[in-house]
Structure 1
Amino acid sequence: MKVIAFVRKELGTGASRRLRIAGQTPGIVYGGADAPVNLSLDHNALYHALKKEAFHSSILDLEIDGAVQKVLLRDFQVHAYKQLVLHADFQRVDASQAIHVKVPLHFVNAELSPAVKLSAGIISHVITDLDISCLPKDLPEFVEVDLAALEVGHSIHLIDLKLPNGVTVVSQENLTIATAAIPAGKVEPEAPAADAPAPEKK
């Protein structure tokens, strides 16, 4: 995914306000051996790019005045109630250096799980993204969570995930990823009880 930016020479609150009025968003790129560079970006293009999940967890091609460098989106700020992106931060990446980034979890096969098919259970997603470390070339857009074998009363934990090659999880805890339970007010069907013995005659 490509982001086009230009070097921003005027700094300060007033300059940023004028930039936004002109349909631009101030930003910055930092990291690596080069000095930080203040940027201006097309607001509408950035606004629509931020709606795409992959934009937040992919290596981006940042073109600044015609020169392209590899970056990650590290942070952005939006207006409290207006559809306005106030600022965006990008970090340069080195192909030989591991990066630490959050990627979304994609939950699949819930409808095939015993929890849903047999017990009409509800599957809760405890966490929706994951802190990972990997080389830039190994960065996945997302990590898949297969729910096909999940039963009521059971959970999927970090140790159960199949991570892509070259990807490790930053957390040292065996986090709970998803759980399955019977909705409140419903009872799991039970096996029929054995016939009670007949009372003894006196």
Structure 2
Amino acid sequence: MSHASYELKAVARERVGKGSSRELRRNGLIPAVIYGDKQAPIAISINTNEITKRIHAGGFMTTVATIELDGKKISVLPKDYQLDRVRDFTMHVDFLRVSANSQVSVQVPVHFVNEEKSAIKTGAVLNIVRHEVELHCPASDIPEAITVDLAGLKVGDAIHISAVKLPKGVTPVIADRDFTIATIVAPAAGVAEEEEGSAEA
């Protein structure tokens, strides 16, 4: 399941806008917004170092947090954040209100296991089509990752979402087709595909 929940202290913002945001950042704070659950959005500020540490710890977008604001505790899921392109500095964070019954859509990373028990051991290449899969799941039970078992796979095999065992209550957002997550290709084909991708880029 997702990483352990954590708590953030926040202060309500009375002023919004670029000037106010710049002032906050100079004082070691980041502007943020809490929205959703059919309630009015709340503009807040949170500690820069604390939120940056959480972002870089991993699992930020799939972990429910608790924001303490004016003595109240609000359960939230990070939905977006902006970084300064030059300084890798956190500029803004959006939080979605959630409850025990909330259903959310999140991008969950894909982990591959047992490469040594597949054709990859003899030189084949794992061609990853999706490093993440968007899933519908309970906010209280977000998977930290989904695992794809490569054991026994040969050159030419493809792994589709239907082959992945998802936790109870978790379904893919893309429901109209059995999409591909990865394929096992011969070494030459893998190199050719990479070269084609580089050329297109």
Please tell me the TM-score bracket, short chain as reference: 0.7 to 0.9
Residues 86-118 of structure 1 show CA distances to partners (whole Å, capped at 9, x for unaligned) of 1000000122232222211122222222x122x
Length-normalised TM-score, structure 1: 0.84
Show the counterpart of 1:38. Answer: 43
Residues 158 and 175 in structure 1, CA contact (< 8 A), matched pair in contact too: yes
Show the counterpart of 2:139. Answer: 136
- Describe how 1:16-165 pairs up with structure 2 within 5 A: 16-113=21-118, 115-117=119-121, 119-165=122-168
CA–CA distance in 2 between the matches of 1:53 and 1:108? 20
Point out where structure 2 has 5 or more consecutive residues left out of the alignment.
Answer: 1-5, 191-201
How many residues end up aligned between the 2 structures? 184
CA–CA distance in 2 between the matches of 1:85 and 1:64? 21
CA–CA distance in 1 between the matches of 2:84 and 2:53? 15
Higher RCO structure (Cα 8 Å, ≥6 apart): 2
Show the counterpart of 1:197. Answer: none
Point out where structure 1 has 5 or more consecutive residues left out of the alignment.
Answer: 187-202
Which consecutive aligned stretches of 4+ in structure 1 deviate over 6 angstroms post-superposition? none
Q: 1:185 to 1:138 in 2, by over 3 A?
A: closer
Structure 2 residue 198 is the aligned partner of structure 1 residue 181: no
CA–CA distance in 2 between the matches of 1:65 and 1:84? 27
Q: 1:87 to 1:151 in 2, by over 3 A?
A: same
Identify which range, 9-18 or 84-93, moves more after superposition. Answer: 9-18
Q: Aligned-pair RMSD on alpha carbons?
A: 1.7
Residues 79 and 95 in structure 2, CA contact (< 8 A), matched pair in contact too: yes
Q: CA deviation at 1:136?
A: 1.9
More helix by share: 2
Residues 150 and 156 in structure 1, CA contact (< 8 A), matched pair in contact too: no
Indicate the SS of the match to 1:184.
helix
Which of the pair has more CA radius of gyration? 1
Q: CA deviation at 1:185?
A: 8.3
